[in-house]
Amino acid sequence: MAACRYWRLFVSATNGGANVAIGELAMAESPGGTNVCTGGTPASSSAWSATYLPAKAFDGSNAANNGWRSAGPVSEWIQYDFGGTPRDIVELKVSFPVAGTIVLNEAPKAFVLYCSDDGIKWELRRGWSEQVFASNEVKTYDATPIPAGSIANRIRPGKAELRYNSAATSQAWVASVISVRNLCRDKNSTKPYRFNTFTGRKRIAGVTTSLGQPISRRVDLFEQKSGLLVDSIFTKDDGLYEFKEVADTTYMLVGTDVRAEQNSIVFAHVTPVD
Protein backbone atom coordinates (compact mmCIF):
# COMPACT_ATOMS: atom_id res chain seq x y z
CA MET A 1 0.00 0.00 0.00
CA ALA A 2 1.15 3.55 -0.63
CA ALA A 3 0.12 7.05 0.33
CA CYS A 4 -1.42 9.31 -2.31
CA ARG A 5 -2.25 12.99 -2.47
CA TYR A 6 -5.57 12.67 -4.33
CA TRP A 7 -8.39 10.22 -3.56
CA ARG A 8 -11.38 10.11 -5.92
CA LEU A 9 -14.70 8.27 -5.66
CA PHE A 10 -16.13 7.65 -9.14
CA VAL A 11 -19.87 6.82 -9.15
CA SER A 12 -21.06 4.81 -12.16
CA ALA A 13 -24.63 4.07 -11.04
CA THR A 14 -27.33 5.27 -8.66
CA ASN A 15 -30.53 3.59 -7.53
CA GLY A 16 -32.43 5.27 -10.36
CA GLY A 17 -31.81 8.94 -9.62
CA ALA A 18 -30.78 11.39 -12.31
CA ASN A 19 -28.12 12.89 -10.02
CA VAL A 20 -25.57 11.54 -7.56
CA ALA A 21 -25.89 12.58 -3.92
CA ILE A 22 -23.59 11.85 -0.98
CA GLY A 23 -24.10 13.28 2.49
CA GLU A 24 -20.66 12.64 3.94
CA LEU A 25 -17.37 11.00 2.94
CA ALA A 26 -14.88 10.00 5.59
CA MET A 27 -11.50 8.36 5.02
CA ALA A 28 -9.22 6.69 7.54
CA GLU A 29 -5.70 5.26 7.48
CA SER A 30 -6.63 2.39 9.80
CA PRO A 31 -9.83 0.35 10.32
CA GLY A 32 -12.07 2.35 12.62
CA GLY A 33 -9.53 5.17 12.63
CA THR A 34 -9.95 8.94 12.67
CA ASN A 35 -11.31 10.71 9.61
CA VAL A 36 -8.33 12.37 7.90
CA CYS A 37 -10.34 14.50 5.43
CA THR A 38 -9.48 17.77 7.14
CA GLY A 39 -7.42 20.71 5.96
CA GLY A 40 -7.47 19.57 2.33
CA THR A 41 -9.34 20.61 -0.81
CA PRO A 42 -12.54 18.88 -2.01
CA ALA A 43 -13.47 18.84 -5.71
CA SER A 44 -16.04 17.18 -7.95
CA SER A 45 -16.92 16.65 -11.59
CA SER A 46 -19.96 18.91 -11.14
CA ALA A 47 -22.29 20.37 -8.50
CA TRP A 48 -26.04 20.95 -8.62
CA SER A 49 -25.70 24.43 -7.08
CA ALA A 50 -23.73 26.37 -4.48
CA THR A 51 -25.85 24.59 -1.87
CA TYR A 52 -24.44 21.21 -2.88
CA LEU A 53 -20.73 21.84 -3.40
CA PRO A 54 -18.29 18.93 -2.81
CA ALA A 55 -17.06 20.59 0.40
CA LYS A 56 -20.48 19.80 1.93
CA ALA A 57 -19.56 16.10 1.83
CA PHE A 58 -16.54 16.73 4.06
CA ASP A 59 -17.99 19.13 6.66
CA GLY A 60 -19.01 16.50 9.22
CA SER A 61 -22.74 17.07 8.81
CA ASN A 62 -25.25 14.60 7.38
CA ALA A 63 -28.24 16.87 7.98
CA ALA A 64 -31.11 17.19 5.49
CA ASN A 65 -30.04 18.72 2.18
CA ASN A 66 -26.43 19.00 3.39
CA GLY A 67 -24.09 17.13 1.09
CA TRP A 68 -22.71 16.93 -2.42
CA ARG A 69 -25.13 16.58 -5.33
CA SER A 70 -23.97 16.34 -8.94
CA ALA A 71 -25.38 18.48 -11.74
CA GLY A 72 -25.81 15.62 -14.16
CA PRO A 73 -26.50 11.92 -14.32
CA VAL A 74 -24.12 9.15 -13.29
CA SER A 75 -20.44 8.90 -14.27
CA GLU A 76 -19.66 11.64 -11.75
CA TRP A 77 -16.87 11.87 -9.21
CA ILE A 78 -15.95 13.55 -5.95
CA GLN A 79 -12.40 13.75 -4.61
CA TYR A 80 -10.24 15.01 -1.78
CA ASP A 81 -6.82 16.61 -2.21
CA PHE A 82 -4.61 16.13 0.85
CA GLY A 83 -2.04 18.57 -0.49
CA GLY A 84 1.46 18.15 0.91
CA THR A 85 0.39 15.35 3.28
CA PRO A 86 -0.33 12.21 1.21
CA ARG A 87 -2.51 9.61 2.90
CA ASP A 88 -2.75 5.83 2.70
CA ILE A 89 -6.51 5.28 2.91
CA VAL A 90 -7.64 1.83 4.06
CA GLU A 91 -11.22 2.57 5.12
CA LEU A 92 -13.99 4.58 3.51
CA LYS A 93 -17.28 5.70 5.06
CA VAL A 94 -20.15 6.88 2.86
CA SER A 95 -23.23 8.54 4.34
CA PHE A 96 -26.53 9.42 2.71
CA PRO A 97 -28.42 12.48 4.00
CA VAL A 98 -31.77 12.34 5.75
CA ALA A 99 -34.98 13.25 3.89
CA GLY A 100 -35.04 16.54 2.01
CA THR A 101 -34.92 17.69 -1.58
CA ILE A 102 -32.25 15.06 -2.18
CA VAL A 103 -34.19 11.92 -3.03
CA LEU A 104 -33.23 8.46 -1.89
CA ASN A 105 -32.67 7.02 -5.37
CA GLU A 106 -29.79 9.47 -5.88
CA ALA A 107 -27.67 7.41 -3.48
CA PRO A 108 -24.59 5.80 -5.09
CA LYS A 109 -25.14 2.19 -6.15
CA ALA A 110 -21.86 1.35 -7.93
CA PHE A 111 -18.61 3.21 -7.37
CA VAL A 112 -14.84 2.80 -7.42
CA LEU A 113 -12.08 4.46 -5.42
CA TYR A 114 -9.02 5.81 -7.22
CA CYS A 115 -5.86 7.49 -5.92
CA SER A 116 -3.21 9.62 -7.59
CA ASP A 117 0.03 11.41 -6.80
CA ASP A 118 -0.40 14.13 -9.41
CA GLY A 119 -4.11 14.21 -10.31
CA ILE A 120 -3.29 12.96 -13.81
CA LYS A 121 -2.34 9.31 -13.52
CA TRP A 122 -4.80 7.35 -11.42
CA GLU A 123 -4.56 3.94 -9.75
CA LEU A 124 -7.67 1.98 -8.89
CA ARG A 125 -7.83 0.95 -5.24
CA ARG A 126 -11.19 -0.87 -4.94
CA GLY A 127 -14.75 -0.99 -6.30
CA TRP A 128 -18.25 -1.78 -5.05
CA SER A 129 -21.64 -2.37 -6.67
CA GLU A 130 -25.26 -3.21 -5.82
CA GLN A 131 -25.21 -0.83 -2.84
CA VAL A 132 -28.53 0.31 -1.32
CA PHE A 133 -28.72 3.17 1.19
CA ALA A 134 -31.47 4.15 3.59
CA SER A 135 -31.98 7.73 4.82
CA ASN A 136 -29.23 8.80 7.22
CA GLU A 137 -27.38 5.50 6.72
CA VAL A 138 -23.59 5.25 7.03
CA LYS A 139 -21.79 2.39 5.27
CA THR A 140 -18.17 1.42 5.98
CA TYR A 141 -15.98 -0.05 3.23
CA ASP A 142 -12.63 -1.81 3.24
CA ALA A 143 -10.41 0.31 0.96
CA THR A 144 -7.30 -1.85 1.10
CA PRO A 145 -5.97 -3.00 -2.30
CA ILE A 146 -7.52 -6.07 -3.92
CA PRO A 147 -5.51 -9.21 -3.04
CA ALA A 148 -3.21 -10.20 -5.89
CA GLY A 149 -3.92 -13.33 -7.93
CA SER A 150 -1.63 -15.14 -10.31
CA ILE A 151 -2.57 -15.23 -14.00
CA ALA A 152 0.78 -16.38 -15.35
CA ASN A 153 -0.61 -19.72 -16.49
CA ARG A 154 -3.99 -18.46 -17.63
CA ILE A 155 -3.40 -15.72 -20.22
CA ARG A 156 -1.51 -16.70 -23.33
CA PRO A 157 -0.29 -14.65 -26.30
CA GLY A 158 -1.96 -15.61 -29.56
CA LYS A 159 -4.53 -14.54 -32.12
CA ALA A 160 -8.26 -14.29 -31.67
CA GLU A 161 -11.40 -12.83 -33.18
CA LEU A 162 -12.55 -10.04 -30.87
CA ARG A 163 -16.20 -9.89 -29.86
CA TYR A 164 -18.01 -7.46 -27.58
CA ASN A 165 -21.57 -7.68 -26.29
CA SER A 166 -23.27 -5.21 -23.97
CA ALA A 167 -26.83 -5.98 -22.96
CA ALA A 168 -27.12 -2.48 -21.56
CA THR A 169 -26.50 -0.80 -24.92
CA SER A 170 -27.69 -3.57 -27.25
CA GLN A 171 -24.44 -3.29 -29.17
CA ALA A 172 -22.45 -6.15 -30.62
CA TRP A 173 -19.69 -6.29 -33.16
CA VAL A 174 -16.70 -8.26 -34.33
CA ALA A 175 -13.34 -6.54 -34.60
CA SER A 176 -10.40 -7.55 -36.72
CA VAL A 177 -8.02 -10.36 -35.86
CA ILE A 178 -5.06 -9.06 -33.87
CA SER A 179 -2.32 -10.37 -31.63
CA VAL A 180 -3.56 -10.83 -28.10
CA ARG A 181 -1.40 -9.07 -25.54
CA ASN A 182 0.16 -11.00 -22.72
CA LEU A 183 -1.54 -9.69 -19.60
CA CYS A 184 0.80 -11.30 -17.08
CA ARG A 185 2.30 -8.98 -14.52
CA ASP A 186 5.60 -9.14 -12.69
CA LYS A 187 6.31 -7.50 -9.35
CA ASN A 188 7.84 -4.39 -10.96
CA SER A 189 4.91 -3.68 -13.27
CA THR A 190 2.66 -0.65 -12.77
CA LYS A 191 -0.31 -2.60 -14.17
CA PRO A 192 -2.93 -3.53 -11.53
CA TYR A 193 -3.12 -7.13 -10.41
CA ARG A 194 -5.99 -9.35 -11.38
CA PHE A 195 -7.46 -10.15 -7.96
CA ASN A 196 -8.84 -13.57 -8.88
CA THR A 197 -8.32 -16.17 -11.59
CA PHE A 198 -12.01 -16.02 -12.63
CA THR A 199 -11.74 -19.36 -14.36
CA GLY A 200 -13.79 -19.56 -17.54
CA ARG A 201 -13.75 -19.97 -21.29
CA LYS A 202 -15.43 -16.76 -22.36
CA ARG A 203 -14.13 -13.33 -23.34
CA ILE A 204 -15.05 -9.67 -23.49
CA ALA A 205 -13.57 -7.37 -26.12
CA GLY A 206 -14.23 -4.12 -27.92
CA VAL A 207 -12.82 -0.76 -28.98
CA THR A 208 -12.31 2.41 -26.95
CA THR A 209 -13.36 5.48 -28.92
CA SER A 210 -13.81 9.23 -28.63
CA LEU A 211 -16.21 10.98 -31.03
CA GLY A 212 -16.35 7.78 -33.04
CA GLN A 213 -12.58 7.46 -33.44
CA PRO A 214 -10.36 4.81 -31.77
CA ILE A 215 -8.33 6.18 -28.90
CA SER A 216 -5.94 4.88 -26.25
CA ARG A 217 -7.57 4.29 -22.87
CA ARG A 218 -7.23 2.30 -19.68
CA VAL A 219 -10.01 -0.32 -19.47
CA ASP A 220 -10.88 -1.85 -16.10
CA LEU A 221 -13.08 -4.96 -15.87
CA PHE A 222 -15.12 -5.46 -12.69
CA GLU A 223 -17.36 -8.29 -11.61
CA GLN A 224 -20.73 -6.55 -11.42
CA LYS A 225 -22.09 -8.26 -8.29
CA SER A 226 -19.04 -7.89 -6.06
CA GLY A 227 -17.53 -4.75 -7.61
CA LEU A 228 -14.09 -6.36 -7.47
CA LEU A 229 -11.46 -5.68 -10.11
CA VAL A 230 -10.91 -8.64 -12.44
CA ASP A 231 -8.29 -7.19 -14.78
CA SER A 232 -7.03 -4.01 -16.41
CA ILE A 233 -5.76 -3.25 -19.93
CA PHE A 234 -4.15 -0.19 -21.50
CA THR A 235 -5.26 0.01 -25.14
CA LYS A 236 -3.05 1.34 -27.94
CA ASP A 237 -4.01 3.89 -30.61
CA ASP A 238 -6.30 1.32 -32.28
CA GLY A 239 -8.38 1.20 -29.09
CA LEU A 240 -8.69 -2.61 -29.18
CA TYR A 241 -8.98 -4.54 -25.93
CA GLU A 242 -9.77 -8.12 -24.93
CA PHE A 243 -10.27 -9.94 -21.63
CA LYS A 244 -9.88 -13.69 -22.14
CA GLU A 245 -10.86 -16.76 -20.15
CA VAL A 246 -13.39 -15.00 -17.92
CA ALA A 247 -16.26 -16.72 -16.14
CA ASP A 248 -19.81 -16.65 -17.46
CA THR A 249 -21.18 -13.88 -15.25
CA THR A 250 -22.05 -10.18 -15.49
CA TYR A 251 -19.33 -7.52 -15.60
CA MET A 252 -18.85 -3.74 -15.67
CA LEU A 253 -16.33 -1.97 -17.91
CA VAL A 254 -14.78 1.40 -17.03
CA GLY A 255 -12.78 3.21 -19.71
CA THR A 256 -10.56 5.90 -18.17
CA ASP A 257 -8.59 8.70 -19.82
CA VAL A 258 -5.41 8.58 -17.72
CA ARG A 259 -4.59 12.12 -18.87
CA ALA A 260 -7.75 13.30 -17.05
CA GLU A 261 -8.85 15.32 -20.08
CA GLN A 262 -12.16 13.47 -20.59
CA ASN A 263 -14.71 11.79 -18.35
CA SER A 264 -14.60 8.04 -17.82
CA ILE A 265 -17.06 5.86 -19.72
CA VAL A 266 -18.92 3.03 -18.00
CA PHE A 267 -20.70 0.02 -19.53
CA ALA A 268 -22.71 -1.99 -17.00
CA HIS A 269 -24.34 -5.41 -17.41
CA VAL A 270 -21.69 -6.62 -19.85
CA THR A 271 -21.85 -10.33 -20.61
CA PRO A 272 -18.97 -12.31 -22.15
CA VAL A 273 -19.22 -14.34 -25.36
CA ASP A 274 -17.65 -17.60 -26.51
Q: What is the three-state SS of the chain?
A: CCCECEEEEEEEEECCCCCCEECEEEEECCCCCCCCCCCCEEEECCCCCHHHCHHHHHCCCCCCCCCEECCCCCCEEEEEECCCCCECCCEEEEECCCCCCCCHHHCEEEEEEEEECCCCCEEEEEEECCCCCCCCCEEEEECCCCCCECCCCCCCCEEECCEEEECCCCEEEECCCEEECCCCCCCCCCCCCECCCCCCCEEEEEECEECCEECCCEEEEEECCCCCEEEEEECCCCCEEEEEEECCCCEEEEEECCCCCCCCEEEEEECCEC
**Residue 228's pLDDT is what?**
79
Q: Give φ, ψ of 245 to 5 degrees.
A: 55, 45
| pLDDT confidence of residue 135 | 81
Could you please state the CATH topology (level 3) that the domain comprising 158-270 is classified under. Answer: Immunoglobulin-like (2.60.40)
Q: Rounded to an integer, what distance in angstroms lies between the CA atom of residue 200 and that of residue 198? A: 6
CA distance 111 to 64: 23
- Give residue 255's pLDDT: 87
Whether 22 and 65 have beta carbons less than 8 Å apart is answered as: no
pLDDT at 192: 38
Q: Which of 240, 264, 266, 263 is nearest to 251 (CA)?
A: 266
List phi, psi (to 5°) of 214. Answer: -55, 145
What are the pLDDT tens digits along the chain (274 aa)? Answer: 579 999 999 988 888 888 899 999 999 999 999 999 999 999 999 999 998 999 999 998 877 777 899 987 667 899 999 999 999 999 999 998 765 667 788 889 888 898 999 888 888 888 888 898 888 889 999 998 765 442 322 323 332 222 222 322 222 222 222 222 222 333 333 333 344 444 567 888 888 887 778 888 889 888 887 777 888 888 888 888 888 888 888 888 888 887 777 777 888 888 888 7
Cα–Cα distance for residue pair 263/12, rounded to 1 Å: 11
pLDDT at 150: 29
Q: Would strands 108-116 and 122-128 be described as parallel, antiparallel, or unpaired?
A: antiparallel
- For residue 163, the model assigns a pLDDT of 29
Q: Any idea where the domains of the chain sit in the sequence?
A: 6-142, 158-270
Residue 206, φ and ψ in degrees, nearest 5: 180, -160
Q: What is the pLDDT of residue 183?
A: 28
